[in-house]
A and B are shown apart, each in its own frame.
Chain A
């Protein structure tokens, strides 16, 4: 097959498209007078979630509007084009959940216990604003605290949580979820402050997980504290509590806090001023495919995480499944040591290789070739889960090709199998092309 020409490209999308064409999705189409004929549709089930955050070109986090396609600049990305590591524009694919904590940004509205002084707002926050709050425990006799009751949990089980904290005068700060009905702590984590080094997280009570705190770029001292608690009961009152000076009654001190969250799901998601814990948004584009061979090149920066399998703190390998054995055949893949992974899938035939795990920091480079004999929609779904991918109507695809008229990138936010992905490049060509040809496209 010859080198793909512009006429062969049904559309392209991603950060590289943005840097080349000035728009996140480019599709071959006549230029109408005075404007553009077509653009992508993008949906994001933000619900009540106020904002999410992403990394700007300046290396700092910036807040993002609801229901907006977001552009994140990822530093030190080497896409193998000979230019070396550079900051690259990407499309942040992240789903959304609803933060079940009322007033997640307004600690002044939280309940006070033990005679805690009122939270003091107007503090410098991790995003360059003044939205943070100073929380104080000034009693040597009782562990004073600030709390808010979660509302609207949809199910029992493990709930992802996070909060931004900055060391004040307290040596240890505790964050916990107390079940008001069962009268017990579902989870309580101690945040032991270590000066300029990352704080140490330990589970003091209850059952759950903690992950490595994430520093906030450009906001020295601010850390995002991610954790979860198991066994929460939706019907009970779940009180999210911050104890500035920890559980020890005699301890006193302060801590700065910003943006608490508690969500349905194993890992905390939006609002998301961090680099991890992402679900899939849904970018949808019509492709106008003519029914011939179809080649898809997709490159994501960093692994696509599966909510149920990923080890978040260590960014250990996730699993990426490509189709079921009967529908989509994996016909080559690179070694685990490669930084750039090339995966090729061809419709029809049995799967030749078991999809390997993707190392942390890898770039996923995926080429899918669909033969015209494949006429059922959807043709291909790439799903992140511990199970296999089926060619049917799934709901958690990372990438999905319908016969006509559209292609989906991202997934539907149903709260499961969330992914974290930065879409670098996605090219769909009308015809069968080699991976090398696709990668050579400017």
Chain B
């Protein structure tokens, strides 16, 4: 049994980090971008394969680069489903000299099949819905770059969503109950007099509540929880949730449900902060 892990930070998200800029043409994150497939789309979490970044020139190396406003550490990356990089090589690298020289964080070939894998696997882990996640030894730099070498004749990379940031792994884990695969069937139905059911096309959405209950070091974990969970996720930003970092294939991208209440609280029965954080799957696939 592993530990839970959450990734909500994204250096490429300019609403989250307004001072971050790209280094491509017109401050784009991409070295190239086709009209209608601009690089800003990698951080808008639309999760639709038509809403993606695509460069123009086929069969050459392409990059996505972000210049941060300060030195930042990152230890996790996620590629959302809809990318065409399975079986392809990608590199993440960082630079402390403005991009003149680079330090490679990892250089991997993305797995092509789903397999039970840990988040820390050398090749990362392909999730059940086709996303790819990897946690790596943290690095710190002001400039970060995802490199996609030439993919072959006629091929250009397609990136629907990209997350790069520092993951939050609460020391005290999560408290029961946990239901990582719990779903909600969303539909409207009418029942006839004979008992026949008429339904519209259903939506199947994973949903659960994260129960944080801080322990001995809880006050300091609360600092992190306040930032990642309460501040960023609570602000409506999508977050990768892994109940068990040894089963990264079951990761889910979630958002905060509307009109709920979220916040760490201290109650009479427990000294340290605790919180119940509901989530719903963000833009699920059709069942």
Contact = CB atoms under 8 A, between A and B. Distances in A.
Given A62-B96, A71-B140, A128 B101 contact: yes
Interface in B90-114: 95-98, 100-101, 103-104
A35 B70 contact: no
B46 interface: no
Contacts of A128: 101
Nearest to A71: B140
A22 B72 contact: yes
Nearest to B105: A57
Nearest to A54: B96
Contacts of B124: none
A161 B90 CA distance: 41
Contacts of A23: 70-73
Interface string A2-41: 0001100000000000111111101010010111100110
A71 B96 contact: yes
Contacts of B73: 18-19, 22-23, 71, 89
B151 interface: no
Contacts of A64: 96-97
B166 interface: yes
A71 B138 CA distance: 12
Find the residue from A20, A129, A442 having the highest chain B CB count within 10 A. Answer: A442
Contacts of B221: 442
Nearest to A56: B103
Contacts of A34: 15-16, 18, 235
Contacts of A62: 95-97, 101, 103
Interface stretch (B30-38, B127-135, B193-201, B224-232): B224-232
Find the residue from A5, A19, A34, A54 having the highest chain B CB count within 10 A. Answer: A34
A65 B97 contact: yes
B66 to A, nearest CB: 14
B101 A68 contact: no
Majority SS at the chain A contact face: loop
B96 A65 contact: yes
Interface residues of A, number: 38
B219 A5 contact: yes
Contacts of B104: 58
A127 interface: yes
B48 to A, nearest CB: 23
Contacts of A22: 9, 72-74, 138, 165-166
A234 to B, nearest CB: 31
Contacts of B70: 23-24, 39-40, 69
B17 interface: yes
Interface in B65-79: 69-74
A62 B73 CA distance: 16
7 tightest A-B contacts by CB?
A: A22-B166, A31-B231, A71-B140, A63-B97, A65-B97, A65-B98, A22-B73
Interface of B: 9, 15-19, 69-74, 95-98, 100-101, 103-104, 137-142, 165-166, 171, 217, 219-224, 226-227, 230-231, 235
30 contacts: A5-B219, A18-B138, A18-B140, A20-B224, A21-B223, A21-B224, A22-B9, A22-B138, A22-B165, A23-B70, A23-B71, A24-B140, A26-B223, A33-B235, A34-B15, A34-B16, A34-B18, A34-B235, A35-B16, A35-B18, A51-B97, A51-B100, A54-B96, A64-B97, A65-B97, A68-B142, A69-B71, A89-B73, A441-B220, A442-B221
